[in-house]
Each structure stands twice: as C-alpha cells, then as structure tokens.
C-alpha cells in the first residue's frame, strides 16, 4: 500500500488555515501550496480507478490533483454561489462524477471533473439554522441499479434520485416516523424535535446488501431497504458509550466490514473508531490504543487495501493504521491548522 495521507481543514478561528495537508508516512505535514488558506476543504476523494487523481471539495470550489496530491489546480467555471462539500465517482464509469453543495445542490460531470452542470434538486430547507445553508455532505450510488442514487444534507435529511442523478427529491417520511420515538427526538438549532433525525452526515451503500441504505446522523446509524420510506435503528448505543456519529466507510474488498466514528457531540472532548464485521449488527472499538481528545469528524478507508484506515479529530489529531487496526500511528496537524473535517489515504 502506498503511504500518503491527506487532511482537510476549515477556517474556524482568526488566523487559522483552512486548506489541505499532505503527509508521506514517516515525514511531516505539508500544506498544499496550490489550495488557498481559506478554501475550507470538506472532502478528499481519491479516484477509485485513476491512481494519480485526487479531488478536494472545498467551500471555495473543487480542486483536482493528477500527481497523487503533490500539486493541485482549481476547476474553473464553477458557480461561485455554491460551496462544495462532497464528490462521488460513478463505480460504473470513472469519468462520471457527482458533487454535493451548499446551498443544497448536486452537480454532475462527464469528463472526470473538468466541467460540471447543475442537476434539478427539490429539497427545500426544512429548518432555519444559525450556521448558514444546509449542505449536501455525501452522495451514494446504488450498487446494482444505475438509476438510483442517494444523498443527504446537514440539516435537511435524506434525498433520492430515481433517474440516474438528473433530478433529486426529498424523502422525509422514514425520518419523520423515527422522530416520533422518544429517544430519537432531538433539537439543538431549532424548536422542532424532529431536527436530530434530519441532521445527516453520511449516506452509503455496499454490494453486500445492494438494496440497503445506511443513513448516519447525530443520533446514530439507520438502515432502509425501501428507498428511505422506512428506517430501522441499528442501535449503536448498545456497543459504544456515545452515539453521535459523524462518518462511516466500507472496507475495500470486504463489503460487510464497516468503520465508523462515534463521539459525544459536534464539539466534545472524546471520540472513538468502531468497526463491524456484519453490516452494523455488532460493533467493537477499533482504536483503543489511542486517545482522541476531541470529536472525531472524519474517517476514511484505503480504496484498495482493507487494512488501511484513517481518522481525524476536530482538534487535528490524525490516527491511521496499515494493519487493520492492530496498531495505530498518530500525527498531529500543524498548530495553525483550523478545525479538521476530512481525511484520506492512498
């Protein structure tokens, strides 16, 4: 496995750097010279087929590297009214990509990210939130049906496309039913106690269960097998001391193996990486050898090697393993880095 790591940060305090950092294992972090200090990188996406290509979704646009992250260029022609929060590559066509934005939107590319066009998105803001517009933080493809795609927005719940990504519509029914349950009522930003179920962070799929959608929000991990009309709670709180869930990834070549990160809240003094070998039925801690000192905001898996996993705390602790979580390395981001939100390894 190649041992190059990436972390993305945002400007969260005066003088902080919100950019992308690159580290070759055994060396120190280097800030990407071609990405602005206030770009605010929210997602780092190694291309699953083209090993030299990596994308960075940032609040100030999309950046692309064609030399394993050594140099970057900003994609021209993007609408400056949108921040970019996610990128997903079509598993059937390596030149076909979608990107999620704030305000809530989805853009599509047919030339490996060089040009983008807006899709039709019908997912109006459900809540007024103090930190700005909702954002499409993750998109996912159905493993076997090319017409079906999924998306989530923070704080705006689940959305669905049934025409290959051309149009996207909100699907709130399953979330509203869950929000009727006493233990899944939660409000922080609004006076609506269904808010917690709509505070989405991730949606993902796996070939091991093609019709399953795994929906991750601040109240845990939930699964739907009927396009989001209903969800069931995987009850991760039975296995972890806290259930605020920020990210989830499927291990390469092991479609039933999940890694996820649990913490207390968006800002807290603890966090942990958990793993499941059976699509979320059972969980165990994977990183007991390390001590996260703040909320774990992002986790990622190596695209080819199931032994490679990386996580990052809001405070800039980066933890990574090359042996399937048997041992971990820790590498703190530079002191002037802003809050960290995403990581990747190649």
The enclosing domain of 174 has a CATH number of: 2.130.10.10
Band (263; pLDDT cuts 50, 70, 90) = very high
Residue 3 in any domain: the answer is no
Q: What is the pLDDT of residue 243?
A: 86
Q: Element (H or E) spanning 105, and its range?
A: strand 105-109
Neighbours of 208 (CB within 10 A): 15
Q: Residue 101 belongs to what H/E stretch?
A: strand 97-102
C-alpha distances (whole Å) from 35 to each of 2, 101, 299, 345 are 23, 18, 22, 18
- The pLDDT of residue 131 is 77
Summary mean pLDDT of the chain: 96
Number of domains in the chain: 1
- Alpha carbons 86 and 43: distance in angstroms, whole number: 6
DSSP 8-state assignment for residue 182? G
178 CB-side CA count, 13 A: 29
CA torsion 332→335→340→343, rounded to 10°? -40
d(CA 142, CA 211): 7
Q: What is the pLDDT of residues 32-86, one digit of tens each?
A: 999 999 999 999 999 999 999 999 999 999 999 999 999 999 999 999 999 999 9
Residue the block writes with tokens 């990436």: 6
pLDDT band at 1 (very low <50, low <70, confident <90, very high): low
Tokens representing 117 are: 């066009």
- Residue 193 confidence (pLDDT) above 90: yes
- Tell me if 35 is assigned to some domain: no
Q: Rg (Cα) of the chain, in Å, rounded?
A: 18
For the stretch 148-153, contacts whose Cβ atoms lie closer than 8 Å and that sit 24 or more positions apart, written own/partner, are 148/227, 149/98, 150/203, 150/205, 150/213, 150/228, 151/100, 151/106, 151/203, 152/200, 152/201, 152/202, 152/203, 152/215, 152/216, 152/217, 153/100, 153/104, 153/123, 153/200
pTM of the model: 0.96
pLDDT band at residue 114 using 50, 70 and 90 as cut-offs = very high
**Helices and strands of the chain, counted as H and E runs:** 2, 29
CA distances from 270 to 37, 261, 315, 335 (A): 27, 11, 11, 19
Contact 259, 271 (CB under 8 A): no
Q: Write out the residue range of the structural domain in which residue 195 sits.
A: 66-336
Distance from first CA to last CA of the chain, Å, rounded?
7
**Is residue 111 scored above 70 in pLDDT?**
yes
Residue 172's SS3 state is coil
């Amino acid at each position: 496995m190649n041992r190059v790591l990436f972390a993305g940060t945002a400007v969260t305090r005066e003088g902080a750097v919100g950019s992308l950092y690159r580290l070759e294992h055994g060396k120190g972090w280097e800030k990407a010279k071609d990405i602005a200090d206030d770009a605010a990188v929210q997602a780092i996406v190694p291309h699953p087929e083209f090993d030299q290509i990596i994308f960075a979704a940032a609040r100030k646009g999309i950046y692309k590297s064609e030399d394993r992250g050594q140099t970057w260029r900003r994609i021209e022609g993007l609408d400056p009214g949108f921040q970019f929060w996610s990128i997903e590559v079509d598993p059937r066509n390596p030149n076909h990509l979608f990107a999620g934005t704030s305000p809530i939107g989805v853009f599509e590319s047919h030339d490996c990210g060089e040009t983008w066009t807006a899709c039709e998105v019908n997912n109006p803001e459900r809540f007024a939130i103090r930190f700005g517009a909702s954002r499409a933080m993750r998109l996912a493809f159905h493993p076997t049906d090319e017409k079906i795609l999924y998306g989530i927005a923070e704080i705006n719940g689940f959305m669905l496309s049934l025409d290959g990504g051309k149009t996207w519509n909100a699907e709130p029914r399953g979330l509203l039913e869950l929000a009727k349950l006493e233990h899944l009522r939660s409000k922080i930003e609004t006076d609506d106690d269904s808010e917690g179920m709509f505070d989405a962070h991730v949606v993902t799929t796996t070939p091991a269960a093609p019709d399953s959608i795994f929906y991750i929000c601040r109240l845990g991990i939930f699964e739907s097998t009927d396009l989001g009309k209903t969800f069931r709670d995987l009850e991760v709180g039975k296995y972890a001391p806290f259930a605020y869930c920020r990210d989830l990834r499927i291990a390469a070549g092991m479609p039933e193996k999940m890694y996820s990160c649990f913490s207390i809240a968006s800002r807290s003094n603890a966090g942990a990486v958990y793993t499941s070998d059976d699509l979320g039925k059972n969980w165990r801690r994977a990183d007991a050898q390390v001590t996260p000192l703040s909320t774990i905001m992002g986790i990622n898996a190596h695209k080819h090697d199931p032994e490679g996993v990386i996580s990052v705390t809001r405070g800039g602790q980066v933890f990574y393993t090359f042996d399937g979580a048997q041992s971990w390395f820790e590498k703190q981001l530079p002191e002037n880095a802003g809050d960290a939100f995403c990581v990747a390894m190649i």
